[in-house]
Structure 1
Amino acid sequence: MESKKGSAKKVSIIIVAIALLILIFSVLSSRFTPSTDQARVQGLTLSLAPMVSGYVTKVNVSLHSEVKAGDTLFIIDRTPYEIAVKQAEINLENVTQSLTAGMSGLKGATAQLNSARVSLERAKKNWERTQRVMAQNEGAFSQVDRDRSESSYLTAVERVKTAQANLDGQKAALGPTDANNPSVKAVLNQLEKANWDLAHTVITAPSDGIIESFNVETGYFASAGRPIATLISNKTIWIQANFTENNLTHLKVNDKASITFDIDAGEVYDAKVVSIAYGVKTQTTSAGNLPTVRNSKGWLLEQQRFPVIIALEDEEIYKKLRQGSQADVVVFTGNSSILNTLAKIKIWFISKISYVR
């Protein structure tokens, strides 16, 4: 009986010792070799929306098509936009002709002013001569001749004023005769807008990637600013791993890491820490309102997680991945050979489990 009690006691001690060792390992590993299964492949998702409206006349892609930056994806009916360009060009020609006619008018008004000034100069000299002669001999000219000379001079003065006013009026109406003319500016802007609209009837790929959310066919009416497909960029990809706060104790940028993906079961890849988030949203607060505080339920407070960006050492591996793919990550923050070895065994085991989970 005493032998059985002794054996049970030894078993209990062993179990407690193992549990204690597991607890110690769990605490140390969470600090020095933190791991998480909350990791996913992330990337840029771009909405493909036309800048102009119209019926789709050509579709060069299909669902899951792989495209390169600059590839033509869709073409919108160009006819109305080509007509708008031609109309803007005609308007520019009309304005140019109007300016040419206005320039001719200016030349005529300038000639009239010069002629009036010449006539004024003659009339002025004649009137001055008449006044000198009459000052020396009052009877040299009759009153009619004197009045005629004065009237010619005054009439010439008024003609110069009229010609000058006519020239000033035409200049004001015509405005600048170069590209600063308001009418020229208006039609040039119209032509530029028409060419811009025409250029945007061709929808091209803004980046390398894969076409998703595609449901467009020839004859579909595309509205400006309304997405007609989605491009998943395969050029900008990263891995976001969400670690708990106590995992971040020793974790730092450039720490070595190992990662395994469900999409590539059985393989473990070398990686490193690129960046660590400094904050996450924990409550909703709007201006003028008090923050909402949620009461936690249960004995233990749920651990807060922070995003950590992980980069693969071999960039060729990214070609195998898909956005949203799940991954498991372990980071090596210290030089403990025991903890690092155990962490490597753990991530290797997880990679093999991916075959069946």
Structure 2
Amino acid sequence: MASNEKTEPKEQEPVENKQQETPAKKSPVKKISLIVLIITVLIFIINVLSDRHTPHTDQARVKGLVLPVAPMVSGYIIQTNVSQHSRVKAGDTLFIIDPTSYEIAVKVAESNLEKAIQSIDAGESTLKSAQARLSRAKVKLERSTKNWERTQRVLAENEGALSEADIDRSEASYLEAIESVKSSQADLERQTEALGPLNENNPTIKAALNNLENAQINLGYTAVIAPSDGIVESFNIEDGYFAAAGHSLMSLVSNNDMWIQANLKENNLSKVEPGDRVELIFDIEPGKVFEGKLTSISYGVSVDNTNPNGLPKVSSAQGWLRDPQRFPVMIELEDKEIISKLRQGSQAEIVVYTGKKPLLNMIARLRIRIMSKLSYVR
């Protein structure tokens, strides 16, 4: 009996060992869960800090100027020098409108200017005649004045020396001479005022010159030239097409000035400032990262279709959670070679470096370089 009692504890030892080993097997699961939780929290914190210090977005597009080309005068097109997607330089002639009627208008304006000059010449002759009449009237007045003064002296010395008729004739001649001078002076002033200046400041001459200049300008407008370097788009005309003044016939995509518009979330903008360094990737150049500089930040966006102020409109994703409002930022490319390859509307992805944050900057640099490699397959 004693021996049996001793063996019973030996049989219970494995059970106790199993109970002691069970917690040891569960401990790795807890450690892994804790590690995953810590990593998740770290990723969340890094993501929040990245949104502030190294914001990035794939809502970025290439922007540029699109110039509508419209003639200043109307007429039938007699010559076209470009076609769809033609590359042109500033000053190149795009097409020519029939200049016949405008050449005639120039000749008519030149004829009217000659008539105006002749009219001024004729008026100048008339003016000289009026001046001559005034001079004669003044000479007559001078003689009549002396005669009247002589008559007055004779009468003062001897009242009966002259007859009444002689006195009346002398006085009448003097008064008539005064009136003649006044009349000639008024006639000269009237003709001088009507004729105006005898140079290019003459109203008749100025009107004729203005008409001639306007006719010459309209004649020059018959040759429609490119306002800047660019590429022809929306071109659908040919010889014989009637071009209406002010009606756009084509668009010129300017390649002189291109920039990137990126739509950043409102909570990305707290640290962003003009002058911040930017890295960009384009689908047209997969695997490459380009440098840029943030130049400006929009101060407002349109939130409905009735905004009369012309503010930029940014679309937001609709989902279960409210998407933060986005605001456009403008980015200038520092690599000028890529500009020649880009097309307006091309997509881009950007990251903005707002300061010296080594860890966050390294993560952002690594991320955008990975995305640039993925451009090969997306």
Separation (CA, whole Å) in 2 of partners of 1:331 and 1:152: 102
Question: What amino acid sits opposite 2:257 in the alignment?
Answer: T
Deviation at 1:18, TM superposition (A): 4.5
The answer as to 2:55 corresponding to 1:34 is yes
Separation (CA, whole Å) in 2 of partners of 1:62 and 1:95: 46
Match of 1:347 in 2: 368
Q: So what's the TM-score if we normalise by structure 1?
A: 0.86
Question: What amino acid sits opposite 2:333 in the alignment?
Answer: L
Match of 1:176 in 2: 197
Question: What amino acid sits opposite 2:344 in the alignment?
Answer: Q
Match of 1:325 in 2: 346
SS in 2 for 1:267: coil
SS in 1 for 2:175: helix
Question: Which among 88, 100, 117 is matched to residue 79 of structure 1?
Answer: 100
Question: What amino acid sits opposite 1:276 in the alignment?
Answer: I
Cα offsets for 1:318-347 (capped at 9, x unmatched): 111111000111223344444333323322
The answer as to 2:70 corresponding to 1:49 is yes
Within 5 Å, which residues of 2 pair with 1:291-310?
A: 300-310=321-331
Question: What amino acid sits opposite 2:369 in the alignment?
Answer: W
Question: Which among 284, 297, 300 is matched to residue 279 of structure 1?
Answer: 300
The answer as to 2:300 corresponding to 1:268 is no
Within 5 Å, which residues of 2 pair with 1:155-194?
A: 155-194=176-215
Question: Which among 45, 55, 59 is matched to residue 24 of structure 1?
Answer: 45
Question: Which among 185, 191, 216 is matched to residue 195 of structure 1?
Answer: 216
Match of 1:95 in 2: 116
Separation (CA, whole Å) in 1 of partners of 2:201 and 2:255: 47
The answer as to 2:87 corresponding to 1:66 is yes
Question: What amino acid sits opposite 2:85 in the alignment?
Answer: H
Distance 1:96 1:6, change over 3 A: same
Match of 1:241 in 2: 262
Separation (CA, whole Å) in 2 of partners of 1:182 and 1:332: 66
Separation (CA, whole Å) in 1 of partners of 2:34 and 2:114: 101
Across the two proteins, how many residue pairs are aligned to each other?
349
Question: What amino acid sits opposite 2:92 in the alignment?
Answer: D
The answer as to 2:332 corresponding to 1:311 is yes
Separation (CA, whole Å) in 1 of partners of 2:226 and 2:329: 30
SS in 1 for 2:224: strand
Question: What amino acid sits opposite 1:107 in the alignment?
Answer: K
Question: Which among 220, 226, 229 is matched to residue 208 of structure 1?
Answer: 229
Separation (CA, whole Å) in 2 of partners of 1:131 and 1:335: 112
**Which entry has the higher C-alpha Rg, 1 or 2?**
2
Deviation at 1:285, TM superposition (A): 7.4
Bigger shift: residues 165-174 or 10-19:
10-19
Bigger shift: residues 201-210 or 271-280:
271-280
Q: So what's the TM-score if we normalise by structure 2?
A: 0.82
Match of 1:293 in 2: none
Question: What amino acid sits opposite 1:217 in the alignment?
Answer: E
Separation (CA, whole Å) in 2 of partners of 1:139 and 1:31: 122
Cα offsets for 1:189-243 (capped at 9, x unmatched): 2122112222222221111111111112112221222111111111101111111
Separation (CA, whole Å) in 1 of partners of 2:337 and 2:170: 102
SS in 1 for 2:301: coil
Deviation at 1:86, TM superposition (A): 1.6
Separation (CA, whole Å) in 1 of partners of 2:283 and 2:319: 33
SS in 1 for 2:240: coil
Separation (CA, whole Å) in 1 of partners of 2:149 and 2:275: 100
Q: Could you say what the CA RMSD is over the residues aligned between the two structures, in angstroms?
A: 2.9
Separation (CA, whole Å) in 1 of partners of 2:360 and 2:102: 68
Separation (CA, whole Å) in 2 of partners of 1:10 and 1:136: 150
Question: What amino acid sits opposite 2:212 in the alignment?
Answer: L
Question: What amino acid sits opposite 2:82 in the alignment?
Answer: V
Separation (CA, whole Å) in 2 of partners of 1:81 and 1:341: 67
Separation (CA, whole Å) in 2 of partners of 1:250 and 1:142: 115
Separation (CA, whole Å) in 1 of partners of 2:195 and 2:356: 83
SS in 1 for 2:284: helix
Separation (CA, whole Å) in 1 of partners of 2:335 and 2:244: 42
Cα offsets for 1:269-313 (capped at 9, x unmatched): 2333333333333457779xxxxxxxx997633211122222333
SS in 2 for 1:273: strand
Structure 1: gaps (5+ residues): 288-295
Cα offsets for 1:82-112 (capped at 9, x unmatched): 2222211211111111111111111111111
Bigger shift: residues 150-159 or 54-63:
150-159
